[in-house]
Amino acid sequence: MLLRKVSQSSALCGTILRVPPVLSGGQRHAGAVVAVQNARLYASQAAQAVLDKPAAIGSDAATKVEKKTVNVESKSFAANIFKGQIQTAQVFPYPSAMNEEQEQFLRELVPPVCKFFEDVNDPAKNDALEKVEDHTMEGLKEMGAFGLQVPADLGGLGLSNTQYARLVEIVGSHDLGVGITLGAHQSIGFKGILLFGNPAQKEKYLPKLASGETIAAFCLTEPASGSDAASIKTTAVLSPCGTYYTLNGSKIWISNGGLSEIFTVFAKTPMKDPKTGEMKDKISAFIVERSFGGVTHGPPEKKMGIKASNTAEVYFDNVRVPAECLLGEMGGGFKVAMNILNNGRFGMAAALSGTMKGVITKAVDHAANRTQFGSKIHTYGAIQEKMARMAMLHYVTESMAYMISGNMDSGATEFQIEAAISKIFASEAAWTVTDECIQVMGGMGFMKDAGVERVMRDLRIFRIFEGTNDILRLFVALNGFQSAGNQLKGLQKALKNPIGNAGLLAGEITKRAKRKAGLSTGLTLQGTVHPELAHSGELTIKAIEQFGAVVEDLLMKHGKKIIDEQFILKRVADGAIDLYAMVVVLSRASRSLSQGTPSAQHEKMLCETWCVEAHDRVMRDIKALRSSESRQVFKNLRAISTAVVENGGVVSTHPLGF
C-alpha cells in the first residue's frame, strides 16, 4: 500500500521536491561563478571554497577532507538548519574541551595577565600616543603573548583554542588597540604558517614570531580590492630557473604593516590550465621577509579608533621571494586566506565578549550609584531594560565564542558558518552594548575621561575588517542555501527510483506537508535540553522547521537567481544568526542547570528571554520572506537607492523649496 501511494504520487513528489538547476550536478560550479559576479567575490568565492572543498583546519586535514564525497552529512548545526533539520553533535552538550592539565595551566595564566592589563597597560595613553607603549610591548613579549598558540617545542605557549579565547577575552576587556596588535600578529599574521606551513617553514619562522622578536602581518587588501579579494593586482612571477618569485604590488590598511618583519602576502601567479593549456592567474600565498629587500611601508594611518595599533600601506617592489616561501599549494592562496580567517573569527567573539563585560561593569557602577528623582537609577524600568538586554547580548556572544572554540578543540572541521555568525553577532552586539552603556551613563559616558568613547571608536572597525558583516551575511546565506540544495539534489535522485526509495520519499512528503500546515515534523530537543528549558527548546524547533521550509520555498522559486537576491539573503542570514544564538544559549544554560552552578537560574532567565524574542524575530523574517508586500518594499528600496545614486545625493525637494 505504501509503495503504491508513493509510486502514484509522482506529481506530488515533483511539486514538493522540485530542485532548482543551480544546485544540481555539474552546475554547482557555474552557480558559484554567478555568485562571484553578483554577490561580490569575497562572499561567493568563500562559499565556493567551502562548498566545493570544505574548509579544514590544516593542510593535512584539507587533503583528507577533499577526498570525501560531497554526500557526507554535515555535522554543522548551522548548515543543517537551512534544511529544517537539527544536528546536535556540535552543540549539545555544551563543550568542555580542556583536560585537567590545560585547565590548571589556564587558571595559572589568567591572574598575571589580568594584573598586567590592570597595572601596566595604559589604554588611554596608548590611544593618545597612537602606539602601544614600548614597556607594554616588552612586557607582552616576556609573558609569551605573541605566541599563544605556537607549539611549545617551537617557543610558544601551545594553547588550545579555548585557552586562547580566555586570554583574548581579557585583552578585549581592557584595550582593543593592543588586542589588534596581538591579533593581527598571530590570529591572521602568521596563522597561515601554523595551518599550512611545512616543517621547515615552521622551524624557521615560528620561534622568533612566538617570542615577539619579529612581528607578522596579513597582506590581502589592496586599493581596488577590499571584499572583492579575487581582484587583487599584486603579482608573483616564477623565475625561469624556478628558484624564486618576483613580487610586485601594494597592500593597504595592513595592521602591523609598519612594524612587521614577516608578511603573509597574497598575489596572483600565472599558472597553466591543465585542461586548456592556457595561462591563467590564480591567487597564491607567500611568506615574505622584509629582509628580502624591496619591502617598504607608508606612514601610520590616521584612524577613527584602534589608534594604538599600527596600520600602514605596504609596498613590494621587485621583491625576490625564494620558491620555498610559497605557503601551501601554488594557486591555493584563496583557500589559505579563507582558512586563516575562518580559523580566527572565534577569537573576535571572545575578545568582544570581554569588551562587553568591561563596559557593562561601568554601566552598572554608574546606575548603582547615580540618584535621580530620589532613587538610584537602576530601579527604573527604562534602565533595567537596557541593563538586561546588555547582559543578554554578552551572554550570547560569550556562549558563541566558547562553543566554537570548544568545537575546534574537539576536532570539528565544519564551523565556517558558525564562525562567521559569531563575528557578525559579536561586533554588532558589542557596539549596541557600548552605545547603551554611554546612554546609561548620560553626559558622563560622553566624556573622554570615562573611557567609553574610546571603546566606541575602537569597536567601529569590527563590523568592517576580516570580512564586512554585509559580505559575511551573504557568506552565511549562500553556504546555507548550498547545504539545502545538496539535500534536494539527493531527493531528486531518489525520485528516479521511487519504488526503491519509497520510505525516504514518503517521509519527505509527509514532512513537507506537515510544515506547510504549520504542524510539527517530529523534530525535538526533548531529552537534550534541560527540562526547565523545554519551552525554549520547543520555540527553537518550531522556528527551525519553518526556517527550513522557507529556505526550500526560496530555492524552488528563485533557482540559481537566489544569488542575486541580496535583500532576501540578508534576511535569511539574520534568521540563521538568531537560530544559532538560540541553540548556543540553550546548550550553555542546560549545562549550568544540570551542574547546579550558582548562576544557573539567572542563565535560565537569560536563555528564556532570548529564545522568546529571537523566535519572534525569526518568524517575522519568515513572514516577510513570504510576503508580497515585502517584495514590493524590496523593489522600492532598490528604486530609492538608484535614484539617490543617479542624483548624486538626496532627491527629495527641501520643504522650504530652496
Q: How far apart are the first and last CA of the chain?
A: 78
Residue 279: enclosing H or E segment and its boundaries?
strand 279-289
Question: Are the CB atoms for 293 and 320 separated by under 8 Å?
Answer: yes
DSSP state of 653: P
Q: How far apart are CA 143 and CA 123, in angstroms?
A: 18
- Helical ranges in 130-190 per DSSP H: 134-143, 161-174, 176-183
Distance of CA 453 to the CA centre of its chain: 25
Cell triple for 625: 520572506
Residue in 131, 129, 167 with CA at minimum distance from that of residue 147:
167
SS (H, E, C) 586-638: HHHHHHHHHHCCCCHHHHHHHHHHHHHHHHHHHHHHHHHHHCHHHHHHHHHHH
Distance CA 261, CA 376 (A): 54
Classify residue 503 by its DSSP letter. H
DSSP string, 349-403: HHHHHHHHHHHHHHHHHHHHH-EETTEEGGGSHHHHHHHHHHHHHHHHHHHHHHH
Distance CA 79, CA 47 (A): 12
* Cell output for 34: 554567478
Cα–Cα distance between 396 and 588 in angstroms, integer?
10
3-class DSSP state for residue 157? coil
Residue 402 to residue 500: CA distance in whole angstroms: 44
Query: What is the spatial distance between Cα 518 and Cα 240, in angstroms, rounded to a whole number?
Result: 66
With a CB cutoff of 8 Å and minimum separation 6, the contacts of 254 are 217, 218, 219, 221, 260, 297, 311, 312, 313, 314
Q: How many of the other CB atoms lie within 10 Å of CB of 471?
A: 22
Q: What is the DSSP letter of 281?
A: E
The C-alpha cell 628558484 sits at 243
Output helix, strand, coil percentages for the chain, rounded to the nearest 5: 65, 10, 25
d(CA 407, CA 409): 5
Q: Could you confirm whether 222 is annotated as catalytic?
A: no
CA distance 4 to 234: 63
**What CA–CA distance (Å, rounded) separates 580 from 91?**
9
Contact 402, 162 (CB under 8 A): yes
Which residue among the candidates 466, 508, 545, 608 is catalytic per the annotation? 466
What distances in angstroms separate CA 657 from CA 236, 471, 645, 647, 652, one per listed residue? 57, 39, 21, 17, 10
Q: Looking at the annotation, which residues are catalytic?
A: 466
